[in-house]
Amino acid sequence: MGEQSTTIFPQEVIDVWADSGLDLPALFSAGNLGERLGLRILEAAPERITGTMPVEGNTQPYGLLHGGASAVLAETLGSIGAMLHGGPSRIAVGVDLNCTHHRGVRSGHITGTATPVHRGRTTATYEIVITDDQDKRVCTARLTCLIRDNPER
């Protein structure tokens, strides 16, 4: 995830997770995969999650941003939203990811913003809009997560 200390959490999120004993920036990341891709979470709240990723190092053989890299960014952002919505006693697991790639990107960074479409007791769906440095839409994704009780809590 890169520089974890730069993630901004609203105070109400910090308060809810304070007694969990969990490291929020570490929990809400793409783990080793996110580190390899250079993914950074900028802000995280159940209503809006924003992250960035460099294009360089995440391209396919034609030199364009790999669609799978966009999918990793989208699933990470939507999953973080679903986990924050579910709270510390629950876990969120992705069950459906749909990505539509609108344009190719060869350089710079992409930025993804996830916002909720539905936040229920057992599922949460987020729309993720990914843009380039010129704020042009690169990809639109939708992620649905199943929210379950955490067996370890």
**Catalytic option among 12, 75, 127, 152:** 75
Structure tokens that stand for 12 in this block: 């109400």
3-state secondary structure the chain: CCCHHHCECCHHHHHHHHHHCCCHHHHCCCHHHHHHHCCEEEEEECCEEEEEEECCCCECCCCCECHHHHHHHHHHHHHHHHHHHHCCCEEEEEEEEEEEECCCCCCCEEEEEEEEEEECCCEEEEEEEEECCCCCEEEEEEEEEEEEECCCC
- Does residue 12 carry a catalytic annotation? no
Structure tokens that stand for 103 in this block: 């344009």
Q: Which residues are catalytic?
A: 75
